[in-house]
Amino acid sequence: MTFRAAVITLYPEMFPGPLGVSLAGRAREEGKWSLEAIQLRDFAADRHRTVDDTPAGGGAGMVLRVDVLARAIDHARAAASNEILPVIAMTPRGRPLTQARVRELAAGPGVIVVCGRFEGFDERIFAARGVEEVSIGDIVLSGGEPAALMLLDACIRLLPGVMGAPSSGTEESFENGLLEYPHYTRPAEWEGRTIPEVLRSGDHAKIAAWRKLQSEVDTRLRRPDLWERHEGARVQSASGARREKRDVDQ
């Protein structure tokens, strides 16, 4: 099955961009995913191909018009008439993208991504067309295109047959709610810096325990938000297990 990506943008020439090389590029050549870059301006109604207008209530910048956006989304949806694709608008006002959401998207038939420019989208488009707003972090880009490339990259690498070793996808950061442990390779000593002795011990149980600990310590120090969620989930599942045991015992 081919994962279908459609991107609505004022800069279709930005696609596939980095997704045309390496893993994603090869996967596209192999038909594992397809890409349609749709020019938003093609859906303007006037001679000047206008896509934006001044903000209601005044203020700086321009806003993407709801009617133009709707026509572009309807076109992208009609092209995938046998499937219902989620529509995602890239915007710093959106919900932060997570690996869990990426996994859901990658398991589906594809995605329609709408890239914002200027001050953003006319708000009415989201409810009118069931558009999900997604942010790739608390930073402001000059447009949604690099964010769309990130979203698609994260999905494509999870498609069946795209990634070489399957374990590299399940052990990595966020898959278990933690950051991944640190990696080392040869040379064993470099500029006076050595590799942790345990990694050269050949004792797989000890190595696994060391990696688990590193993963936990790094997450706690670098991402207290992730750690809190992880600990919350652990405490909850432990109390759930206790409850189940009590129910069985009774």
- Per CB under 6 A, residues contacting ligand ADE are 90-92, 116, 135-137, 139-141, 144, 147
Q: How far is the CB of 161 from ligand ADE (least distance, A)?
A: 29
Which residue's CB is nearer to ligand ADE, number 116 or number 177? 116
Q: Could you give the C-alpha distances from 60 to 53, 56, 90, 119, 165, in angstroms and in order?
A: 11, 11, 20, 8, 49
Q: How far is the CB of 240 from ligand ADE (least distance, A)?
A: 35
Q: How far is the CB of 47 from ligand ADE (least distance, A)?
A: 29
Which residue's CB is nearer to ligand ADE, number 8 or number 90? 90
What gap in Å lies between CA 46 and CA 55, rounded to an integer?
19
Q: Is 2 helix (H, G, I), strand (E, B) or coil?
A: coil
Which residue's CB is nearer to ligand ADE, number 144 or number 177? 144
Q: How far is the CB of 11 from ligand ADE (least distance, A)?
A: 13
Q: How far is the CB of 154 from ligand ADE (least distance, A)?
A: 13
Tokens 């279908």 belong to which residue? 4
**Phi/psi of residue 109, each to 5°?**
-75, -15
Which residue's CB is nearer to ligand ADE, number 120 or number 177? 120
**Judging by beta carbons within 10 Å of its beta carbon (0-12, 13-18, 19+), is residue 218 exposed, middle or buried?**
middle
Which residue's CB is nearer to ligand ADE, number 6 or number 136? 136
Which residue's CB is nearer to ligand ADE, number 144 or number 162? 144
Q: How many Å separate Cα 198 from the centre of its chain?
A: 34
Q: How far is the CB of 228 from ligand ADE (least distance, A)?
A: 23
Task: Compute the Cα dihedral for 172, 173, 176, 181 and give only its sign.
Answer: positive
DSSP of 82-139: TS---EEEEEEEEEEP-HHHHHHHHTSSEEEEEE--TTEE-THHHHHHTEEEEESSSS
Q: Which of 144, 135, 140 is nearest to 95 (CA)?
A: 135
